[in-house]
A and B are shown apart, each in its own frame.
Chain A
Amino acid sequence: AQSVTQLGSHVSVSEGALVLLRCNYSSSVPPYLFWYVQYPNQGLQLLLKYTTGATLVKGINGFEAEFKKSETSFHLTKPSAHMSDAAEYFCAVSENSGYALNFGKGTSLLVTP
């Protein structure tokens, strides 16, 4: 069975500050890991994903995440927050590409001026 845990249901940062959203996973097989963003009443947009290879993954909108097997983590970061980054962020895991995703509970990011 696979699962993800997102630490912190709400994160607030100032505009221009570092964004750090935490995700830890549990998987009995090498995981495929994803970060999605969801704006109000919209579907999900993929920010980035890790399948194999390089553990530091760069995504859209300046986000990146690092897969750390020893820590079973896949934290999402962005050096400088923009107001437009305010949204709900979901970490997800699957056991293979094309398989259904198991989502974390989400982290709501608030960006203050």
Chain B
Amino acid sequence: GAVVSQHPSRVICKSGTSVKIECRSLDFQATTMFWYRQFPKQSLMLMATSNEGSKATYEQGVEKDKFLINHASLTLSTLTVTSAHPEDSSFYICSVEERGQQYFGPGTRLTVT
């Protein structure tokens, strides 16, 4: 199956700054990627669906101007958390869909101080 990487694995940033998280499909050209967020000891919640070459589709309640998603190529999608606040601290996980199955990246732990 598809191999998915994320960078960085951990990041600490100060409140008010922006952070970019990369999701790469290493061996598969992905037209669709998904971004999830997981708060401590909670389940994964879908944030948005990233489509190559077009605008992302955001889930209800997710601020598109705060969580900027760019899927500029078939192997790379980026999530930028703008003007980060401590409540944005979370585990962000991306996934790639291949032949009807999702393959998940290892996740990025974001801590906003």
Q: Which residues does chain B contribute within 8 Å of A106, judged by CB atoms? A: 41-43
1/0 contact trace for A1-21 toward B, CB 8 Å?
A: 000000000000000000000
Contact between B100 and A98, CB atoms less than 8 A apart: yes
Contact between A101 and B109, CB atoms less than 8 A apart: no
B64-113 contacts to A (CB < 8 Å): 91, 93, 95, 97, 99-107, 109
Secondary structure type dominating chain B contacts: strand
Q: Which residues does chain A contribute within 8 Å of B6, judged by CB atoms? A: 43
Q: With A43-B93, A44-B93 as given contacts, are A103 and B44 in contact (CB-CB < 8 Å)?
A: yes
Query: How many B residues, CB 8 Å from partner?
Result: 25
Contact between B44 and A100, CB atoms less than 8 A apart: no
Q: How extensive is the interface on chain A, given as a class? A: 10 to 19
Contact between B107 and A100, CB atoms less than 8 A apart: no
Contact between B42 and A43, CB atoms less than 8 A apart: no
Q: Which residue of B lies closest to A88 (CB)?
A: B41
Q: How far is the CA of A44 from the CA of B97 in the complex (A)?
A: 14
B6, B43, B93: most-surrounded residue (chain A CB, <10 A): B43
Contact of B101 among A43, A97, A104 (CB under 8 A): A97
Q: With A98-B32, A98-B97, A101-B102 as given contacts, are A41 and B107 in contact (CB-CB < 8 Å)?
A: yes
Extra contacts, 4 of them, besides A45-B104, A106-B41 (Cβ < 8 A), are A43-B4, A43-B105, A43-B107, A90-B44
Q: 3 closest Cβ contacts across the A-B interface?
A: A97-B100, A43-B104, A44-B104
- Of the A-B pairs whose beta carbons lie under 8 Å apart in the complex, a sample of 11, sorted by A's number, is A36-B104, A43-B93, A43-B104, A46-B103, A90-B43, A98-B97, A101-B44, A103-B45, A105-B42, A105-B43, A106-B43
